[in-house]
Each structure stands twice: as structure tokens, then as C-alpha cells.
Amino acid sequence: MATTCVKRAFKYRFYPTEAQAAELSRTFGCVRKVYNMALAARTEAWARQERVNYNATSAMLTAWKKTEELAFLNDVSSVPLQQCLRHLQTAFTHFFGKRAKYPRFKSRKKSRKSAEYTTSGFRFRDGRLTLAKTTGPLDIVWSRPLPEGAKPSTVTVSQDSAGRWFVSMLCEDATVRPLSATDAAVGVDVGLDHLLTLSTGEKVANPRHERRDRTRLAKSQRELARKAKGEGANRRKARERVAKIHARIADRRRDGLHKLTTRLVRENQTIVIEDLTVRNMVKNRSLARAISDAAWAEFRSLLEYKAAWYGREVIAVDRFFPSSKLCSVCGTLADKMPLHVRTWTCECGTIHDRDVNAARNLLAAGRAVSACGAGVRPQRRTPGGQSATKQEVSRREP
């Protein structure tokens, strides 16, 4: 049986020349302009109870280029402009499928600066990448090699708020194959005192990346607040200093989560987690900063796609399952379990560590799903607007 190759994005940093930076910045602006104009046109049509699809917006783009006011759209490659219209079509598809909110307009200051090129918009030969209507090949830092014989099908160029330039290449990676099956299974309970607590009793420390740089970040933010509002050079430099600290925090956090999720996927066939609504939990003003720094949602996202790559299974237990209050030995359900209670003694005499006990209960619930499918319902969570394929243990009443 033929194996299907996994499509994988390889992201690299690059250093553009002044001419390339100007050309790419112009492309970002044109992409944002076309996206906003197409969104406005579709919104007006929707108010008239008319449907405008991708083909219609593509025809609009052709007409816009012929006008004197928008003739500058011809100065950049047409590929990223067409791609942004496809992205808008996808956004509306998710909206009508009730998987996302109504698409929003792109802001010049806040929106991500990016442009996507398909095969007709770039040339990749001998490790040198050249984009359409861009002067010369990009100076890419090859921090890791592409898979042998891989050819990018899509190239996305972006610039983050810290001013760093990145290029992401989507390639088929034949080296990603299912791992050998194993009987190992683990329950994972996320927390703040410890980032993860495993059913084996192991506790993974919470690195608290944001707290480590909090003093430096606060100082930079105060300096930014003192700058006169506007487009002055001093305010721009102060804003970049704040952005660089945020980027440093995010990079460390992402690196740690990648290492942690890769280890869990390699060591276990089945991984059971809790279906937490992080979006609602961060509304708690006392815990929002700590929860955001722990990045529980990103942890789950990384875990799920890596499990799909390597033939592992991730089971999400319903958030109402009383994992903390249920004794993992005798099954007794405690009446109350405030957050400040970290250890408790059951009627059977067992002394429980709250987090370890919760992880063991999650594992038991996940094993029930794997064994007989008891209490299974379709997963409700659809990250990124895509339908999820994982399973979830239904709510269990005591």
C-alpha cells in the first residue's frame, strides 16, 4: 500500500537587501489593500442578499488593476493578490460553516505582514529562492536542510512585529512516517504550578518565560508610552524594542513546547488530555497572564498534529469530567475541591496529589474510549476553522 507524504512547512529567517525589503513591503501593502476591498465588496453584496465568490472577486481584481487609482497593483506579482482572495474565500467558508467569526479587515499596524506565492510566483533552484518581481535571490539562513529532493509547492514570506523576515516553504516530507506501535499510554493534566503532570507521577516544571523577562518588558513598555504618538522614528524604535522582547519570549516558549510534545508522541501510543476552553479561562483577570504564558492551546495543537503524523492517538476528555475530585483508587467522588487544595485524603485512606490523581483519572477515561468507545461523541473543537477528528469522552455525571 502506497504511503502518502505529509506536507510540512519549513520556516527560515532571511535578510533582504534594501531593494528586496522595499519590494516585499509594497507587496504586503497591496495584499492588504486587495483583501480589504474584496471584503468590503462581499459585505455590501451580502447586505443585498447576494453571494459573491472567489471568481467574482478575481474579476474585480482585474478591473481594479485597469483603473488609474489602483494601477500600482500591477507593480507587484499577481500571485499573492490572487492568494489573498482565496484566503478570503476560505474565511467565508468557515464563517458560513459556523466554524469562525465574520472576516475582519486587515489593519496596517496590527495585521500580520505576509504574502503567499504558489509555484508560478517563485523559482527554487540549487537552494536559491527567487520571488516574482523581486530583485535577485533571497539571502536565506538554512538552519536545517529541506528533505532530500523536496520541492516547495508554496512559499510564504512574512515580517514579524520585531522587524525579522521569514520565509516558509511547504514541501512533501517522505521522512515523516508512523512510528512503531507501542502499548504505552499516558494521561496529561495541565497546570500553572507545573506545566504538565503525567499519570506516571512525573511533573514538568512551568518555565514561566514571560515572568523571566517581565522587568525588561515593563521598562520597554514604559519607554514606549512616553514617546509622542505618531510615526516618529523614536516611537518606532521603542515599539521594535518591545516587539523584540515579546518575540524572544514566544520563541523560547515555542521551542520548549516542541521538545515536550515530540517526546510525548514518541514515547506513547495514546495520550489523554482534558478539553479545556482556554478562550473562556483567560477571561479570569487574575489568571489570564499565567494561562497565556503556559500556552495550553498551543500545546494541544502541536500534540494533535504530531500525533496525526506519527500514527498516535490523542483523546480529549470532556471538561466537566471530575478528574480532580474523583479518587483514582476506589472511585469515590469528593463533594468539593477548591483550587488551593493540592493534596487530599480519600475515604479509602489513599492520600492523593491533586494533579497526579487527575492525570490518572484522565488516563482511565481515555482507556475506556480506546477499549470500547464508551461515552464518545464528535469533537467540538475545530482549531483554525478545520474539522477535528479526535474523540472526546462525554460528560459523566457522578
Residue from 274, 275, 293, 304 carrying the catalytic annotation: 274
Residue from 210, 304, 355, 392 carrying the catalytic annotation: 355
Return d(Cα 367, Cα 374) in angstroms, integer. Answer: 10
Side-chain half-sphere of 98: how many Cα atoms within 13 Å? 1
355 a catalytic residue: yes
Return d(Cα 366, Cα 375) in angstroms, integer. Answer: 10
**CA proximity to 246, closest of 326, 315, 163, 172:** 163
Side-chain half-sphere of 216: how many Cα atoms within 13 Å? 13
The CA-based dihedral angle spanning residues 338, 342, 346, 349, taken in that order and rounded to the nearest 10 degrees:
-160
* Cβ(57)–Cβ(38) below 8 Å: yes
Residue from 23, 116, 189, 210 carrying the catalytic annotation: 189
Return d(Cα 116, Cα 160) in angstroms, integer. Answer: 15
313 a catalytic residue: no
Q: Which residues of 176-215 are buried (b: 16+ CB within 10 A; e: fewer)?
A: eeeeeeeeebbbbbbbeebbbbbbeeebbebeebbeebee
| Length of the chain in terms of residues written | 398
For the annotated catalytic residues, the residue numbers are 189, 274, 355
